[in-house]
């Protein structure tokens, strides 16, 4: 009779994990053919990942991706993604169309260039182009560290509660 508690823990864990995924992070990002653009907002000079959801009824051949803000990129048939670097002179706060073309089908997603200016120079005159550019300002792959921590706490708590309840019930059966 151990299968029931194990199945309960597995289902509870899967439900908790699925609840931790933000609504906008679902694969496909609203695209009919499963094309993705990540992140949807990027700073000038930043990189975007262009994805193709081939398993979800998407394209079978190579995909050509074009936009006024980066050079045209071709995603080969057996690849699911490629990267493109946004022009450094892209208009801050502007929204650009990114067009995916495959087998006579086209679809357009929007790419927003991050706006505003921090007042800090992005290019130090003494040390041009040296060192590593810092990350996303305290986030990991677009997620807030607090959200990740709370999600992990939720999963750990639900698994611990399920384990505790299954052990307590097993002890009642033996008595």
CB 50 within 8 A of CB 82: yes
Q: Give me the pLDDT at residue 27, please.
A: 40
Q: Give me the pLDDT at residue 68, please.
A: 94
pLDDT in tens, 89-123: 888 888 999 999 988 888 999 999 987 554 444 44
Is residue 92 reached through a cis peptide bond, with omega within 30 degrees of 0 on the bond before it?
Answer: no
Name the CA dihedral angle for 146, 151, 157, 162, rounded to a multiple of 10 degrees: 180
Distance of alpha carbon 10 from alpha carbon 137, whole angstroms: 34
Three-state SS at 41: strand
CB 42 within 8 A of CB 83: no
Question: Domain map of the chain by residue range?
Answer: 27-115
pLDDT in tens, 4-48: 665 565 555 555 555 544 444 444 344 667 888 999 999 999 999
The architecture (CATH level 2) of 27-115 comes to Sandwich (2.60)
pTM of the model: 0.48
């Amino acid at each position: 009779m151990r299968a029931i508690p194990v199945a309960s823990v597995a289902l509870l864990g899967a439900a908790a994990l699925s609840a931790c995924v933000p609504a906008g992070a679902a694969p496909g990002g609203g695209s009919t053919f499963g094309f993705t653009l990540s992140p949807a907002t990027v700073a000038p000079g930043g990189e975007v990942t262009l994805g193709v959801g081939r398993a979800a009824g998407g394209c079978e051949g190579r995909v050509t991706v074009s936009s006024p803000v980066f050079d045209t990129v071709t995603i080969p048939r057996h690849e699911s993604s490629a990267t493109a670097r946004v022009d450094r002179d892209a208009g801050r706060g502007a929204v650009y169309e990114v067009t995916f073309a495959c087998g006579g089908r086209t679809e357009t997603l929007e790419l927003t260039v991050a706006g505003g200016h921090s007042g800090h120079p992005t290019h130090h005159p003494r040390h041009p182009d040296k060192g590593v550019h810092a990350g996303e300002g305290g986030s990991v792959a677009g997620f807030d560290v607090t959200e990740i921590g709370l999600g992990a706490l939720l999963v750990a708590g639900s698994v611990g509660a399920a384990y505790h309840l299954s052990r307590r019930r097993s002890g009642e059966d033996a008595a």
